[in-house]
Structure 1
Amino acid sequence: MKFLKLFQGESKDKENAKEPMTQDQYLAEAHRIFQVSWDILHNTNWRLEKHMENGDTVHSAHLPVVGKVFKAQGIVNMEPRALLNLMFCQPDQFSKWNPVIVESRLLQNIDENTHISYQVTAERVGGLVARRDFVILSHWAMRDNCYVLAGASVPHPAAPHHNRYVRGENGPSCWIMRPVKESKSRCQLEWYLDTNLRGWLPQYVVDAAFSSIMLDNLNNVRAYAKKQNEQASSQSN
């Protein structure tokens, strides 16, 4: 896939550059990440890994250069726009509703659709996967009547590498919030993830961690949606 090699080459150049990226460079990178992640999601032969009783699924695929990547899909009782707000706005609040994230903060606003955040993920697989930290450039836009939130790792002077955590790296990844025709208050959430946890980890541990993280995230979003719906119902009574 030519677009994968193109992105990786550009990303590596930026990572090795001594000068911090400008706002315009971050914005151009965000648009590139958006298109690459969309293309991968829709031009890949996916293989089913897990099919849960509630209908959630996890698929995987092997991409040239990149390796194994994953996507998860499930129905959430939340309007697409409300779910986008939850997953993009107020990054300082991410850890309060998503136990997978133990620390999060906004590093830089680029524009109303684009920002850079710092996130620390919890231990996984009984502690075999220690905490990782990530610096993520995120950008959202509408595509095919869906809200699409894309992101990938970038360097940022406000979050240099340190010895406390292993710095993980996300390649172009995205969340898609598709409306459900039968109900405006629900949406189909699809998540494509390309990440490198770094460190010395057996592949079976990595695969188990990815599947677990993706399903946990779907359930965490549902738990928050349920809480919000219950609060709205009690206030209306």
Structure 2
Amino acid sequence: MTTMDIVEQFEENCCVMCYTTAGQLWNIIAPREFVDFSYTTQYQEGLLSCGVSLNYGETRPNFVRGHNHPCGWFCVPLPDNLDHSLLTGYIQTDLRGRLPQSAVDTAMASTLANFYSDLRKALKV
């Protein structure tokens, strides 16, 4: 993910967000943008965030509009170590466009690995 912007805020925990990704595999996979409705709330001393893509606004030039089917992230503190949490994500992404499945699988695997690695670095104290 290269950018994440709130496009419209409804309440503190409810908004429309736009995410972009960089091109992958020497731009065989063009940059994507996703516009999602997102809702985040407290859940068992942790957080639950869920979302789904919307048909919202125009697709920016040089991007392909991807689509996220209903998805969610759970972040719950570990009972035996409250300084650490378990992050579980359920995603169903359709990158759209004409892509060989092998290219999609390779790009998604590296993108998710980079996402978790960057998240871990960002959360280190």
- Same topology, TM > 0.5: yes
Pair 104,144 (structure 1): closer, same or farther in 2 beyond 3 Å = closer
Q: Deviations over 1:165-192 (max 9, x none)?
A: 1111111111110211222221111111
Pair 178,154 (structure 1): closer, same or farther in 2 beyond 3 Å = same
Give the alignment of 1:1-237 within 5 angstroms.
100-101=1-2, 103-156=3-56, 159-226=57-124, 229=125
- Displacement of 1:143 after TM fit? 3.8
Question: Which blocks of at least 5 consecutive residues in structure 2 are unaligned?
Answer: none
User: Which structure carries more relative contact order (alpha carbon 8 Å, separation 6+)?
Assistant: 1
Larger Rg: 1
Distance in 1 (CA, whole Å) between partners of 2:61 and 2:123 is 36
How high is the TM-score relative to the length of structure 1?
A: 0.49
- Displacement of 1:197 after TM fit? 0.7
How high is the TM-score relative to the length of structure 2?
A: 0.88
Distance in 2 (CA, whole Å) between partners of 1:162 and 1:122 is 13
Counterpart AA for 2:38:
S
Q: Which has the higher strand share?
A: 2
Distance in 1 (CA, whole Å) between partners of 2:26 and 2:80 is 40
Pair 125,192 (structure 1): closer, same or farther in 2 beyond 3 Å = farther
Is residue 31–residue 62 contact of structure 2 (8 Å, CA) maintained in 1?
Answer: no
- Displacement of 1:196 after TM fit? 0.8
Q: Which has the higher helix share?
A: 1
Distance in 2 (CA, whole Å) between partners of 1:115 and 1:166 is 22
182-191 or 167-176: which moved more?
A: 182-191
- Displacement of 1:139 after TM fit? 0.3
Counterpart AA for 2:55:
P
RMSD: 1.7
Question: Which blocks of at least 5 consecutive residues in structure 1 are unaligned?
Answer: 1-99, 230-237
Counterpart AA for 1:182:
D
- Displacement of 1:145 after TM fit? 4.6
- Displacement of 1:162 after TM fit? 4.2
Distance in 1 (CA, whole Å) between partners of 2:41 and 2:4 is 22
Report the number of matched residues: 125
Counterpart AA for 1:209:
A
Structure 1 stretches of 4+ moved >3 Å = 142-146
Counterpart AA for 2:52:
A
Distance in 1 (CA, whole Å) between partners of 2:114 and 2:43 is 26
